[in-house]
Amino acid sequence: MRKKVYGIIIGAALTVGLFLTGCGTTTINANDYLTISTEGFDTKGTASYALDTEKLLNDNLKAFGLEEGDDMEYLEALGRLEFDLNGKLDKTDSLSNGDEVTFTWKVRRLDELEEKYKVRVEYSDKSVTVEGLDEPEEFDPFDYITVSFSGIAPDGKAVIECDGSIPVKLDFRAENGDHLSNGDTVKVTANAYYGNDLISYCFENGYVPSCEEKEYTVDGLAAYIRILDEIPEDAYKKMDYHAQDLLKATTSSWKYPENFSGAELLGNYLLTPKDSFDYVTNKNYLYYVYKVNCADGFSYYYYTYYTNVMLLEDGSCSFDLSSAQYASGSVIFGITSGEIFSHNDLYYVGYADIDTLFNKHVTSRIGEYKYESTVK
């Protein structure tokens, strides 16, 4: 960024700003010691001025009746010059190339100074045309960030990483960066630090952003199963086989194991949170519901459920067979506990009717969960 200085060229044959008039009075042109400077970038340039009263005095020591070593008198004269000669610019900021800036003098008690030191100070308003302000370089802030997504849908989060080579240090924020699912849209905005205006802040550093926000589509998140159709067929069958193995293990402890004649999968219940997933431990319940048939013609109902079943980015399904929960109960000295009932003096783990199973496992959770059912 260049600083443009506007001065006055004085002929070599003349002493700068010094003219002798009659009666021993020296005329000094104050404009010869005035400098107007501009800097910054086009449309955001700034102007300042400097009045070198010390040089004015040093160039005219004899006119002020001073000699080297007259420290007190020198400081007094310099102080009067600094107080008596002043002014201001009509424009100091938001400047563009081609603008005109004018310095207007404001003098105080100049007549007293001229009488004391036998000098005559001339001055006139001075104008300059602004030129040489640089053009800011355009850049895309979003070329310097990477937006990725972490977590498990619908509780995914946006993660923003900024490249250290970005020419202007900015604060990037995701307006809706949490509770995300695949396919959602996230808006990321570029901001200046400490509440500063983005455009002005970038201008001050020689750049202008080509855009201030950008949208990103969420992808790559693992997701908790929310509808039954999302479950891949191979995973569905694997859980079914596992649940039936658990059921067969319970029938092996029957008083008459040979009475077991098979189980029929009636369908599934899928329970998912009604509101935010943040406030529930289990993000879903996937029930397999079976009708258990006995050789004597009796039948009853049995279940196994899996929790936190997920669909991964590659389309595969994640679930924990070891955490499966299933109907259980016991009989001690004729006293039953858990999910157990009797029929014809025999005890069965499960439910005598489908409605009771539904009320126990679905209706009881209806406050926090909604459900989908394919149970016939």
pLDDT at 189: 98
pLDDT (mean) for 143-162: 94
pLDDT at 287: 98
Q: Is 220 helix (H, G, I), strand (E, B) or coil?
A: coil
- Location of structure tokens 């190339």: 97
pLDDT band at 4 (very low <50, low <70, confident <90, very high): low
Q: In the predicted model, is pLDDT for residue 77 greater than 90?
A: yes
pLDDT band at 15 (very low <50, low <70, confident <90, very high): very low
pLDDT above 90: percentage of residues in the chain: 77
Total count of residues recorded for the chain: 376
pLDDT band at 40 (very low <50, low <70, confident <90, very high): confident
pLDDT band at 336 (very low <50, low <70, confident <90, very high): confident
pLDDT band at 289 (very low <50, low <70, confident <90, very high): very high
Q: Read off the tokens for 52.
A: 């070198």
pLDDT (mean) for 67-75: 88
Q: In the predicted model, is pLDDT for residue 268 greater than 80?
A: yes
CA distances (Å), 80 to each of 85, 321, 344, in order?
Answer: 8, 94, 121
Mean predicted lDDT score pLDDT of the chain: 91
pLDDT (mean) for 183-193: 97
Q: How far apart are CA 182 and CA 149, in angstroms?
A: 9
Q: In the predicted model, is pLDDT for residue 334 greater than 90?
A: no
Q: How far apart are CA 24 and CA 18, in angstroms?
A: 12
